[in-house]
Chains A and B, each alone.
Chain A
């Protein structure tokens, strides 16, 4: 069964927010919203779940800290505990202050980079990826709401969207 979607265009983020609110009340299923810039509060209005990226980042930071500690403990203390300028290399804790800058940097490095990579993977972004944008104007000054139209009366939906202030409404086949 070929699924159909309706693309409704808006010119203002305030109008868009009201439209999304109205669609939610009517229990229409919003597939996607395309905006040229972040619209504050849109995610809450759409009922999107909270991101867990920060939790990932915290855990990645712990990984980085562990890597730093294990690496330096092996290299500086266990493998070849040389006397370098009188630094005490008898145990990790005795030489700890000189390791802290690296522990800090690796924690930040892992937390930041792995979080960014996670973000790319979760949002399916990479070089040479085919843009999923249905209309170029949404990167400039138009807002687009994509509503599932397979199981609803299209005329009714179109009329409803017109009322919410849409400037252009198209019925599309979804690939």
Chain B
């Protein structure tokens, strides 16, 4: 039986408090009027200029930097014909109103990205858990309780996410542009999609996804406990097997629709057919990475003695393989759109490459290049601290991935990884650790009734 250490009782609470305070600061410092935006931009502009003043010798460079800070709107405006006009209209209130909406979105978007990121970890682990049952994997039963612990975050995380979605639906923020009736009234493209993209249906769908996923989690865990109590005949194990198969069918449909609803609808003018798979790869690899990290942590504390290097090796192989799978989907989506260069599709990537160059291409290094070079070696996959290091980079990379999917449509050029973003991550990290490690104390860490347990104990690669 696992018991929480003193540190693990304290750390998540500190994280939650710090995160909540930071997020509150983020919300209170957002401008509420155009005048405040002007003030904020002016002070930012001055600071920027001052910092570059000593480097006056680099005239051209200074000017370029300068333009970046102030005149990006003019230079990087993607609405071709509009660009010339916006030069004159630059100082008009229209521009500041635009920036105001972006800045008001910023803490909300930071909250949303973090909420979704931690939720998708739990969801990825749930999918992996179901696959272990459906595939009757012989290596993993020792890790099933770890997975059950991590998926405990699914319901609370889902409820938080649902509340944020509902707040958007009740116009507390401008995260989803299609939820704004004024925008829809002037936008025929969104009008055409309003049969799917309308708030009541959107919330009903969200409730169904979260509800059914949580139901699967609830019964899977219950059956797993029952199997411990009465292992004769494997009655509960067989039920788990069937349930997992049914869940996986539902999951692959609902996950795809979830990705349209919760991520793709930030850009309601844009669509991509492999987007659901892309989001799936992201959540799957994050989930597997967290399983590896939690397993290594528990093992290092002496709670999972029977877990050996081969189990870690297998998890690391999954981290490696699914990282490459994610890259494959990322590239397939990017290259197809880049190659054909159809204006209605390509704006998605143009805004990201123009305004999010570092996170957009940086995540490729974190999610592909780093894991592929680090985890390609068979011996390295057995070295715990290397797996932990790789895992942390993969997780950060996939946070940036979600960031890249959400931010361009919500805050656009006003993005910045600052107090709001970091605090939101800390807040949800605190909740995640609290929920997961508390759930781990609820049951023995070895599912002793599992018929494949003996095989898993002697698993050797």
Q: How far is the CB of A69 from chain B (nearest CB, A)?
A: 16
A97 to B327 alpha-carbon distance, docked (Å):
13
Closest to B335 in A: A97
Residues of A within 8 A of B136 (CB): none
Residues of A within 8 A of B376 (CB): 58
- Main secondary structure on A side of the interface with B: helix
Q: Is B338 an interface residue (CB 8 A)?
A: yes
Contact with A along B312-334 (1 / 0, CB 8 A): 00000000000000000001001
Residues of B within 8 A of A86 (CB): 341
A100 to B330 alpha-carbon distance, docked (Å):
13
A58 to B380 alpha-carbon distance, docked (Å):
15
Closest to A87 in B: B339
Within A67-105, the residues touching B (CB, 8 Å) are: 86, 97-98, 100
A54 to B378 alpha-carbon distance, docked (Å):
10
Q: Are the CB atoms of B378 and A97 closer together than 8 Å? A: no
Residues of A within 8 A of B334 (CB): 97
Q: How far is the CB of A27 from chain B (nearest CB, A)?
A: 28
- Main secondary structure on B side of the interface with A: helix
Q: How far is the CB of B256 from chain A (nearest CB, A)?
A: 25
Q: Are the CB atoms of A100 and B331 closer together than 8 Å? A: yes
Within B339-381, the residues touching A (CB, 8 Å) are: 339, 341, 376, 378
Closest to B338 in A: A97
Residues of A within 8 A of B338 (CB): 97
A98 to B340 alpha-carbon distance, docked (Å):
11
Q: Are the CB atoms of B341 and A97 closer together than 8 Å? A: no
Q: How far is the CB of B368 from chain A (nearest CB, A)?
A: 12
Residues of A within 8 A of B341 (CB): 86
Contact with A along B212-232 (1 / 0, CB 8 A): 000000000000000000000
Closest to A86 in B: B341
Contact with B along A43-75 (1 / 0, CB 8 A): 000000000001000100000000000000000
Residues of A within 8 A of B378 (CB): 54
Q: How far is the CB of A8 from chain B (nearest CB, A)?
A: 29
Q: How far is the CB of A125 from chain B (nearest CB, A)?
A: 25
A86 to B340 alpha-carbon distance, docked (Å):
10
A98 to B335 alpha-carbon distance, docked (Å):
7
| A98-B331 in contact given A54-B378, A58-B376 (Cβ < 8 Å) | no
A86 to B376 alpha-carbon distance, docked (Å):
38
Contact with A along B52-92 (1 / 0, CB 8 A): 00000000000000000000000000000000000000000
List residues of chain A with CB under 8 Å of any chain B CB. Answer: 54, 58, 86, 97-98, 100
List residues of chain B with CB under 8 Å of any chain A CB. Answer: 331, 334-335, 338-339, 341, 376, 378
Query: Would you mind naming 9 contact pairs between A and B with Cβ atoms under 8 Å apart?
Result: A54-B378, A58-B376, A86-B341, A97-B335, A97-B338, A97-B339, A98-B335, A98-B339, A100-B331
4 tightest A-B CB contacts, nearest first: A97-B335, A97-B338, A98-B339, A100-B331
